[in-house]
Amino acid sequence: MFGIDRQVYYRKIKRRFNKQNKARLVIDMVLEIRQQMPRIGSKKLYYLLHQDLKALKIGRDKFIDILRTNHLLIISKRSYHITTNSHRFRKYTKPNNRSGNKQA
């Protein structure tokens, strides 16, 4: 059938089903933890689920790939400080010395 053996065909189907089943288990575990802590990241999730993932034979990289394909990675919010105000109109404004101070 199409240049491949029947055995290879069904083995591939079984392998795909097992991968999807493992991914579904991982997603369920992640969503269960994320109900309590919605902004927890992938590294900390892996640390919390390490023993369960070890039983499923899923490592760190595979775990992160599963999260990425299911859009479960947390995008970090960048914190930055505004230190200058360099707007073109406010750059060189100074108080009007003629109207405020009258010197003799």
Positive or negative torsion for Cα 64, 69, 74, 80? positive
Q: Is position 7 within any domain? A: yes
pLDDT tens per residue across span 72-82: 999 888 888 87
Q: Convert 78-90 to b/e letters by CB count within 10 Å (16 or more is b).
A: eeeeeeeeeeeee
How many domains are there within the chain?
A: 1
Task: Read off the tokens for 96.
Answer: 């009007």
Q: Is position 31 within any domain? A: yes
DSSP 89: T
pLDDT tens per residue across span 15-71: 999 999 999 999 999 999 999 999 999 999 999 999 999 999 999 999 999 999 999
Domain boundaries, position 53: 1-74
This prediction's pTM: 0.69
Q: Is position 101 within any domain? A: no
Task: Read off the tokens for 78.
Answer: 């960048």
